[in-house]
Amino acid sequence: MPVYEYQCSKCGHVTEAVRTMSAADEALPCEKCGSKTTRQHSIFQAAAGKSSSSSSLPSGGGGGCGPGCGCHMH
């Protein structure tokens, strides 16, 4: 299921929720103050590898992708 972000109209707190696509637009109460929230547009980023058959992430868990890789893993 997708993760959606909701922002409180009163205090500005942002809440993440795992919900079905059919329930995505239904308002959630704010975790902090209980006021109404509205769904926010999330930013998604993916890095393309050189080949679809190999991973673009470094082996061993980290730090070797290079400058500007955009993976946010290090």
3-class secondary structure for the chain?
Answer: CCEEEEEECCCCCEEEEECCHHHCCCCCECCCCCCEEEEECCCCCCCCCCCCCCCCCCCCCCCCCCCCCCCCCC
Count, in order, helices (H) and strands (E) of the chain. Answer: 0, 3
The residue range of the domain holding 24 is 3-40
Does a structural domain hold residue 15? yes
For the chain, how many structural domains are there in total?
1
67 assigned to some structural domain: no
pLDDT digits (tens, 9 = 90+) for 16-73: 999 999 999 998 999 999 999 999 987 666 677 765 554 444 444 444 555 565 555 4
d(CA 58, CA 61): 6
Threshold 0.85, pTM exceeds: no
